[in-house]
Homo-oligomer: A and B are copies of this chain.
Amino acid sequence: MFPEYDVIVVGAGHAGCEAAHAAAKMGAKVLLCTMNMNTIAQMSCNPAMGGVAKGQIVREIDALGGKSGIISDKSMIQFRMLNRSKGPAMWSPRSQNDRMRFAEEWRLALEETPNVDFWQEMVSGLTVKDKRVIGVRTGIGIEIKSKTVVLTNGTFLNGIIHIGEKQFGGGRTGEAAAKGITEQLVGLGFEAGRMKTGTPPRVDGRSLDYTKMEIQHGDENPEKFSYSDDTEPLKEQKPCWITYTNKDVHEALETGFDRSPMFNGRIQGLGPRYCPSIEDKINRFAERERHQIFVEPEGWNTVEIYVNGFSTSLPEDVQYKAIRKITGFENAKMFRPGYAIEYDFFPPTQLKLSLETQLVENLFFAGQINGTTGYEEAASQGLIAGINAARRVKEESPFLLKRSDAYIGVLIDDLINKGTEEPYRMFTSRAEFRLLLRQDNADLRLTQLGHQIGLADDKRLEKMLDKKNDTARLINDLKQKRLSPETINEGLEEFDTATVKEKITVEKLLKRPQLGLEKIMELDHDLKDYLSKFNKESREQAEIQIKYESYILKEQQMVEKLNNMEDFKIPLTFDYLKIPALSAEGKQKLNKIRPETLGQASRISGVSPADLSILTVYLGR
């Protein structure tokens, strides 16, 4: 009844959607098999994309030719660039999204992708022959053949939902859990583990008193995720609000602690340390008198509100009592209670860097099934798994991103080489070369790679090349262009920075912390005319590259050295034990073997690529 596919993607969450799209774009015949076609790309938890380090990932996905950026742009209701006041390595795009639109846009995008077929059903097992996957089996017993399979089951494998003392099976509220796959894989020799995550209650926006909260508008000049011209920045935005918990809220929550599935041991799986439940927060940080709550609309028109920061699996009556003590929530009506969910994952150390499993050939894992948490983490893994499944079919070598190429490289390298005990979430601090891995240059870093493998289209490539050329020209010119004291001194005073006696290059001015290109433009008419010929992205790019030139250079040199590890000597006296960031195993092995070069170190089993880049950083300073 079905043809043989090149790639079957199981699950249509963020990982599955990216995988299906990428593989199909690269020419593979793809079947996307998911339990419910009405829930394609459902955001299980908060209606938002991006954020610190995660926003960079969305930009990287987009630069490679993936879809998450475009879908986010098309469905967003608010955009903010977080950390604008910090250095550009920290700038992180984040959107608030219309939950329904997001899912609909993804579905329509997949429908528009030639080569993607759909089948609505639960996959209950894999067909494996001689340690190679050759298809899947569905709940009603259909066998579908395929050259490769990508599993992206999210939180659905043997999912159990907890609210207070009650528990019931489910992959998300209102959706059934998936059975069979874990058991089969364990039978094949895989190790499986258990994790948990949680979600806050949803409330009726009509029942909140916003006058008691701080309003949080989107950026005045909002940007967007996609480098392409397929989307536009928002013209209108919806605001969010901020409020806080207080002692009364905490006391109300505490009355339910004895019935908490987290505290009484009913939940075994480890939860995400950096997305803790509210009961976790008041338990772990007993000294804090309040916690921030973001009050986020679920869409353009709906009155449903997502109570960000209030994830909980306490009994629903306790949730209700406590939520009504939050400022502005005095009359809050709940739509759905918060809950926690436990699910199976597979420790990702069982994978190759291509996201193919070590045990079963042509079988790929991506997303939450690998022990990560977050839409962006899932989507980026889906992208890489989809790409590599398609390449496997064409018998091409795996497509791998290095830690110095992208956050996606860091993510996968961490997973495969370090594994993870708790749900893995991306942070800027996980990237050694974060000044290189900025949100503003993901296209410069990745679009050419995406184009080479047949994912990013020509238009994207051209646009990136234009930006690259413009930036180079700009940097060159700004190093030459000299402004004279008569024209600029008055303005410099106004901007609170030292006046000059002689002509000065724009480059020099740009390195002053008080000045940016937008300000310098105002100092000199001719300069403004000249700069106006370039678009905003190129100007910003040139500015960043000039302003942070020395730091960027240093990181680039380190990357080069890392790439050229044989030349990289390690002093024999180097004290590995004093570097806490090294993995325990790496530390021990290095201390024992004492390699002479990084090249030698890299070949020691147990020393991970992460260990190597940490060493590079230390040795380079």
**A interface, CB within 8 angstroms of B:** 1, 35-39, 42, 100, 104, 107-108, 111-112, 114, 117-121, 139-142, 163-164, 166, 168, 173-176, 202, 204, 206, 301-304, 316-317, 320-321, 333-337
Min CB distance A198 to B, Å, is: 15
User: Is the Cβ of A302 less than 8 Å from the Cβ of B141?
Assistant: no
Chain B residues with CB below 8 A from A333, complex form: 117-118
Contact between chains at B38 and A39 (CB < 8 Å): yes
In the complex, A1→B204 CA distance in Å?
Answer: 15
Question: Given that A303-B111, A316-B1 are known contacts, is A120 also in contact with B38, CB under 8 Å in the complex?
Answer: no
A1 touches B168 (CB 8 A): no
Residues of B within 8 A of A316 (CB): 1, 140, 142
Whole-angstrom distance between the Cβ of A286 and the nearest chain B Cβ: 26
Residue in A38, A42, A163, A164 with the greatest tally of chain B CB atoms within 10 Å: A38
Cβ-closest chain B residue relative to A169: B176
Q: Which residues of B contact A303 (CB under 8 A)?
A: 111-112
Chain multiplicity (copies): 2
Q: Do A117 and B336 have beta carbons less than 8 Å apart?
A: no
Q: Is B107 a contact partner of A302 (Cβ separation < 8 A)?
A: yes
**A38–B141 alpha-carbon span in the complex (Å):** 28
Q: With a CB–CB cut-off of 8 A, which chain B residues contact A304? A: 37, 111
- Residues in B with CB closer than 8 Å to A108 are 301-302
CA distance A336 to B39 in the complex (A): 14
Cα–Cα, bound, A141→B176 (Å): 20
Given contacts A119-B336, A142-B316, 6 further A-B contacts (CB under 8 A): A37-B336, A117-B333, A120-B174, A120-B335, A140-B337, A142-B317
When distances are taken between beta carbons in the complex, the residues of chain B under 8 Å from A163 are: 140
In the complex, 23 of the A-B residue pairs with CB atoms within 8 angstroms, ordered by the A residue number, are A1-B317, A36-B173, A37-B202, A37-B335, A38-B39, A100-B100, A107-B302, A108-B301, A111-B206, A111-B301, A111-B302, A111-B303, A112-B303, A114-B206, A117-B204, A118-B333, A118-B335, A119-B336, A120-B336, A121-B336, A139-B168, A140-B337, A142-B317
B204 adjacent to A36 (CB under 8 Å):
no
Contact B166 A140 (CB under 8 A): yes
Q: In the complex the two chains form, is A1's CB within 8 Å of B320's CB?
A: yes
CA distance A223 to B3 in the complex (A): 44
7 nearest A-B pairs in the assembled complex, by CB-CB distance: A36-B174, A120-B336, A1-B320, A111-B303, A140-B166, A1-B317, A118-B335
Q: How far does the Cβ of A330 sit from chain B's closest Cβ, in whole Å?
A: 14
CB contacts (< 8 Å) of A141 on chain B: these are 166
Residue of B nearest to A114 (CB): B206
Tell me the minimal C-beta distance from A546 to chain B in angstroms. 45
Instruction: Determine if A204 and B118 form an interchain contact, defined as CB atoms under 8 angstroms apart.
Output: yes
Are B120 and A35 closer than 8 Å at their CB atoms? Answer: no
Q: How far is the CA of A67 from the CA of B335 in the complex (A)?
A: 22
**SS class, residues of chain A in contact with chain B:** mixed
Alpha-carbon separation in the docked complex, A166 to B321 (Å): 45
| A232 vs B10: C-alpha distance when bound (angstroms) | 42
Kindly list chain B residues whose C-beta atoms are within 8 Å of the C-beta of A320: 1
**Min CB gap A82→B, angstroms:** 29
Please, which residues of chain B bring their CB within 8 A of the CB of A337? Answer: 140
In the complex, A39→B168 CA distance in Å?
20
Nearest residue in B to A203 (C-beta to C-beta)?
Answer: B118
What is the bound-complex CA distance between A334 and B144, given in angstroms?
13
CA distance A445 to B111 in the complex (A): 45
Closest residue of chain B to A317, judged by CB?
A: B1
What is the bound-complex CA distance between A206 and B320, given in angstroms? Answer: 48
Tell me the smallest distance from the CB of A9 to a CB of chain B, in Å.
15
Central interface residue in A1, A112, A163, A316, by most chain B CB within 10 Å: A1
Tell me the complex Cα distance, A303–B301, Å.
Answer: 25
Shortest Cβ gap from A350 to chain B (Å)? 30
A36 to B335, CA, bound (A): 10
Residues of B within 8 A of A111 (CB): 206, 301-304
A153 to chain B, nearest CB (A): 15
User: Which residues of the other chain, B, contact A100 by a CB distance below 8 angstroms?
Assistant: 100, 104
Query: Residues of B contacting A36 with CB < 8 Å?
Result: 173-174
Complex contacts, A336 vs chain B, CB 8 Å = 37, 119-121
Cβ of B1 and Cβ of A321 under 8 Å apart?
A: yes
Minimal beta-carbon separation of A303 from chain B (angstroms):
5
CB distance from A401 to the nearest CB of B (A): 33
Q: Complex formed: what's the CA distance from A37 to B303 in Å?
A: 12
Minimal Cβ-Cβ distance residue in B for A34: B174
Q: Using Cβ atoms and an 8 Å threshold, which residues of chain B touch A142?
A: 316-317
From B1, B38, B114, A174 is in contact (CB under 8 Å) with B38
A119 cross-chain contacts in B, Cβ below 8 A? 334-336
What's the Cα separation between A334 and B142 when bound, in Å? 13
